Amino acid sequence: MGENEHCCAPQRSEKSSSAVFEEQKIGATHEDMVSLKGGDFLMGTNYQHGRDQDGEKPTLQARVSPFAIDRYAVTNSQYAAFVKSSGYTTDAEQVGWSFVFAGLLPDDFEDTRGVQGSPWWRQVFGACWKSPEGPKSSIDERMNHPAIHISWNDAVAYANWVGGRLPTEAEWEFSAQGGLENPIFPWGDELEPDGQHFMNVWQGSFPDKNLETDGWYGTAPVGSYPPNQYGLREMTGNVWEWCSDWFATDNKRGGGDPKGPVTGDTRVIKGGSYLCHASYCNRYRIAARSSTTTDSSMGHLGFRTVREIEN
């Protein structure tokens, strides 16, 4: 991936044995979706700060068919209902650990291993979607926060259960643009219009000092920030979101309903997270992209789903 490849999406070195559930009872708790008519739009960017090494440039004409997309990232409450109904075990639970941002761990936390080049990512045994900072943590007070420590396999399993799928990168970008003409952010081109925060990202000096002027240090509850013109919340910031596409930097992503390359090593993630900061990673933009392996999980990685609708 190039420069700062581990700052956004560290990867496990070993594979987990999680199997994607193809046949699951459809959940009844997953209903708040926005139906979009689809259409033509510009995918990618010509923005001067766009990352050539990530394959963001140039803009290409693309078109997507009608679909419905979740208004919010999938929450802990929704994921808990899925696990209770299906008995599913996530990749992080099977492997026994996940990546946690060091700043979220208490001062007296046991020694952990850090990712080389990105020491703020710590290997925490027992960390998973229901224990985000390890065995002594819980989601009891975060049921309306995005589910995190979710691998691509875990996200696909949930999507199958609700009768949906993960968005393509094209569908995700179309949704995030909210009908605007190739904006940098879901609300336009200005990061903080009139000094207002429209997303949950890092302010201050990364990784040692977060001023929290957007209101949150870690994840924020879904719906915390203003919607884009399609009524979608937190398409950038808060948590990275999985897409269905394999990742490549040389793939031409325009055309009708583009789906990326047919094979690959990692899957696309979009939107940035609460850890993004302009000093080292400005991937909290619509066109920005990163990737990681299908069994990798971390404390800022979630997802939302889409469904097919009739023309």
User: Using an 8 Å Cβ cutoff, are 186 and 172 in contact?
Assistant: no
Q: What is the mean pLDDT of residues 138-142?
A: 96
User: Using an 8 Å Cβ cutoff, are 232 and 175 in contact?
Assistant: yes
Q: pLDDT digit string (tens) for 8-23?
A: 667 665 444 333 323 3
Q: What is the model's pLDDT at position 152?
A: 98
DSSP alpha helix (H) spans, the chain: 5-8, 76-86, 91-95, 152-161, 169-177
Among 146, 166, 151, CA closest to 274? 146
What are the structural domains of the chain?
A: 28-308 (3.90.1580.10)
3-state secondary structure of 101: strand
Q: Which residue has the higher pLDDT, 203 or 112?
A: 203
Q: Can you say whether the dihedral through the CA atoms of 76, 156, 6, 205 is positive or negative?
A: negative
Q: What is the model's pLDDT at position 80?
A: 96
Q: pLDDT digit string (tens) for 54-71?
A: 678 889 999 999 999 999
**Residue 86 burial class via C-beta count within 10 angstroms: exposed 0-12, middle 13-18, buried 19 and up:** middle
Q: Which residue has the higher pLDDT, 18 or 91?
A: 91
User: Using an 8 Å Cβ cutoff, are 235 and 179 in contact?
Assistant: no
Chain mean pLDDT for the chain: 89
